[in-house]
């Protein structure tokens, strides 16, 4: 890709699809408050705080309401925004009144408005009011954009493909730096610094940061901590014989991927090898089953059956996977209780795993895109145990 971003033409197409969905339900316009939803439709990203940001959309105009500190950014030509209205600050400036005035200018204040939330989210001390308190229109909360984000277009897939390529590099640097006696947080800081430098030196002006998060996250836990899948403890020192479970997530153009591996510090024990092979086989079962028309639930059901055969089902703590894109977790989910069938253009992290007390966690995660006849795996780091020994 010459530019590491979704082009404005795609945002125009998304706006039209969003309007079509809203019109079919009787709405005359749309107001968005969620930062990722605003980004998805207009291309404008921003740092969400207590200060409300809103995007008003009709067939004739797209208008943004932003605090003063976002004015110059919001008026960029590459964003799908026709007009920008500025208030100074919150709580001064009465931003939601400004949003209501925008609805009046757009001609929707007295009709029916589809919103992603009835007002700005309650974060960082923000307390309201709701949009429905300030306009006479019927305000309906709709999930349109969450639905739209389930299927990825070609530009989104290419951004996630690029992210996956950098994940491979980040993980290689991570595995090379792991050694007994060090803390994960120390290794992470060094690896992320090196990986980000390589990424930015290579991509140059094509790369644009869209949040304050590190462009390349290279995390891991070690030892007994790995039996807690979402533990944030990265201070336990690495010891000989440890399981290590990693997660590497670069961000390119606002889109992320997920690459996870189970490593071993020194020669694995017999139990570690046995559990590792069961985990790896479960991931292969899941990936091989994914194709258009297969039920989401069937993927996890197959893994559950296999884990029961292998006697490890008691160690499972989460479902098999989830969609990914602008967020690390998106729907649909590979879950026994999620209804529907897999479609081309969906992406999934495929990460069945289990967690054995006093031994550790066992989980690989790879990002796959669903094609017309199966899948393409975008992450490609080695998966065999003998390549994952530190």
Reported confidence tier of residue 2, pLDDT bands at 50, 70, 90: low
**Tens-place pLDDT, residues 237-277:** 999 999 999 999 999 999 999 999 999 999 999 999 999 99
Of 237, 269, 236, 262, nearest to 247 (Cα)? 262
Q: State the pLDDT confidence band at 294, using cuts at 50, 70 and 90.
A: very high
Quick one: pLDDT band at residue 64, thresholds 50, 70, 90? very high
In this structure, are residues 4 and 207 in contact, taking their beta carbons and an 8 Å threshold?
Answer: yes
Strands 243-252 and 255-256: antiparallel
Distances in Å between the alpha carbon of 11 and those of 16, 210, 214, 314, 332?
9, 17, 26, 46, 22
Which domains are delineated in the chain? 8-148 (3.40.350.10), 154-387 (3.90.230.10)
Asked if residue 339 lies in contact with residue 296, where contact means CB atoms within 8 angstroms, the answer is yes
pTM above 0.85, yes or no: yes
Kindly indicate the confidence band of residue 3, based on its pLDDT and cuts at 50, 70 and 90. Answer: confident
Handedness of CA 57, 60, 65, 69 (dihedral sign): positive
pLDDT > 70 in the chain, percent = 99
Q: At 5, list the tokens.
A: 């971003």
d(CA 347, CA 331): 10
Burial of 352 (0-12, 13-18, 19+ CB in 10 A): buried
């Amino acid at each position: 890709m010459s530019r590491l971003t979704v082009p404005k033409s795609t945002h125009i197409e998304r706006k039209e699809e969003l309007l079509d969905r809203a019109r079919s339900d009787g709405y005359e316009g749309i107001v968005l408050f969620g930062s990722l939803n605003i980004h998805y439709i207009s291309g404008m990203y921003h740092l969400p705080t207590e200060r409300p940001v809103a995007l008003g959309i009709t067939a004739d105009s797209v208008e943004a309401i932003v605090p003063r500190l976002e004015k110059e950014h919001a008026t960029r030509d590459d964003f799908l925004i026709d007009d920008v209205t500025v208030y100074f600050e919150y709580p001064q400036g009465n931003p939601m009144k400004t949003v209501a005035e925008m609805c009046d200018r757009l001609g929707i204040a007295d009709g029916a408005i589809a919103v992603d939330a009835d007002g700005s989210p309650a974060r960082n001390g923000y307390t309201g009011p709701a949009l429905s308190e300030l306009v006479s229109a019927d305000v309906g909360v709709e999930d349109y954009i969450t639905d739209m984000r389930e299927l990825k277009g070609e530009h989104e897939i290419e951004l996630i493909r690029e992210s996956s390529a950098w994940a491979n590099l980040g993980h290689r640097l991570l595995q090379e730096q792991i050694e007994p006696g060090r803390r994960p947080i120390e290794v992470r800081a060094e690896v992320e610094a090196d990986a980000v430098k390589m990424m930015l030196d290579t991509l140059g002006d094509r790369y644009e940061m869209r949040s304050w998060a590190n462009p390349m996250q290279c995390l891991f836990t070690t030892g007994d901590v790995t039996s807690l899948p979402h533990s944030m403890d990265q201070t336990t020192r690495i010891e000989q014989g440890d399981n290590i479970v990693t997660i590497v997530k670069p961000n390119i153009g606002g889109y992320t991927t997920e690459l996870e591996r189970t490593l071993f510090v020194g020669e694995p024990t017999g139990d570690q090898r046995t559990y590792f092979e069961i985990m790896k086989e479960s991931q292969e079962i899941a990936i091989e089953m994914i194709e258009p028309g297969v039920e989401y639930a069937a993927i996890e059901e197959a893994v559950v059956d296999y884990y029961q055969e292998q006697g490890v089902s008691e160690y499972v703590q989460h479902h098999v996977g989830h969609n990914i894109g602008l967020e690390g977790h998106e729907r649909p989910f590979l879950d026994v209780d999620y209804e529907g069938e897999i479609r081309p253009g969906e992406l999934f992290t495929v990460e069945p795993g289990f967690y054995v007390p006093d031994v550790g966690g066992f989980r690989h995660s790879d990002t796959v895109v669903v094609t017309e006849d199966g899948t393409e795996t975008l992450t490609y780091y080695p998966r065999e145990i003998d390549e994952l020994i530190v």
